[in-house]
Structure 1
Amino acid sequence: MHHQTAYSSASRPTIVVLCGSDQPAEANLYETAAGRIALAPGCNLKQPHPLWADPAQANRLKTVLDDLHLRKIDLADEVLVINVNVRLSSPSPRSPRAVPPFLRSASTALRHPQG
């Protein structure tokens, strides 16, 4: 069975950053199967782990992870918002449902599973 990929043999695959916390492994699977390079979150701070058990360690790590995420977006061709609770047009950047302003103004394309 031949699967259509997101790139031709002469170009590199599309790089997609996964944003959100809803089933990143599933989104990563589908993006990879479609022939795209998926840059997924590397840590889930909501799950207990010794690396971020101490609140001071967790705060330092959050800063590092936020910066890494911005760097991933800089590298990406597309941003896939996988958190189904995010509305792309939310007016408040502080709202948990808002897409951060840097994503709205990014040169990368935004995709959302609900259109």
Structure 2
Amino acid sequence: MPDRPEIVCLCGSIRFADELDAANRALTLEGVIVVAPSVPPRTDAHGDGPITEEQRETLSALHLRKIDLADRVLVVNPGGYLGESTSREIAYARETGKPVSFSDDRRAE
């Protein structure tokens, strides 16, 4: 293992939580440090209800900082799907010089 493992930031729609978890697991087992989007439940397990718009904006900004930490970005996009937030994250990653790859090459860019 190198002195510092590669850091990969996962991006993708939270509708693909299972696929994001699978990619996280596979990369982690390969010795990669994975940073991934927070996948907030619709309702908090503690009964706090859905997240607010302000919290959603905070999570979005935080995810861009995760991209900053990464060596590269892997977009988890089953069926080639890219939503608005994911497209914004891809643009940000490219603007900052991060290599971007896709789990499904049928991306709609």
- TM-score of the two chains, using structure 2 as the length reference: 0.73
Say which one has the larger Rg. Answer: 1
Residue 38 of structure 1 aligns with which residue?
34
- SS state at 1:17 partner: strand
CA-to-partner distance for each residue in 1:25-82, whole Å, 9 max, x for gaps?
111101101110000122335x3224453xxx51111011011101000110011100
Q: Point out where structure 1 has 5 or more consecutive residues left out of the alignment.
A: 1-6, 88-94
How much has 1:111 moved relative to structure 2? 1.4
C-alpha distance 51-98 of structure 1, shift in aligned 2 (>3 A):
same
Partner-residue secondary structure (3-state), 2:4: coil
1:78–1:96: structure 2 CA closer, same or farther, 3 Å change rule?
Answer: same
1:78 corresponds to which letter in structure 2? Answer: R
Distance 1:31 1:24 in 2: 11
Residue in 2 aligned with 1:48? Answer: 43
TM-score w.r.t. the length of structure 1 is 0.69
Higher relative contact order (CA 8 A, sep 6+): 2
The structure 2 residue matched to 1:59, chosen from 47, 53, 58, is 53
Runs of 4+ off more than 3 Å: 95-98
In the alignment, the residues of structure 2 paired with residue 35 and residue 111 of structure 1 have an alpha-carbon distance, to the nearest angstrom, of 18
1:71 is matched with which residue?
Answer: 65
Within 5 Å, which residues of 2 pair with 1:2-13?
Answer: 7-8=1-2, 11-13=3-5
CA positional deviation for 1:97: 8.8
Check conservation: 1:15, 1:38, Cα contact below 8 A: yes
Percent identity (aligned)? 32
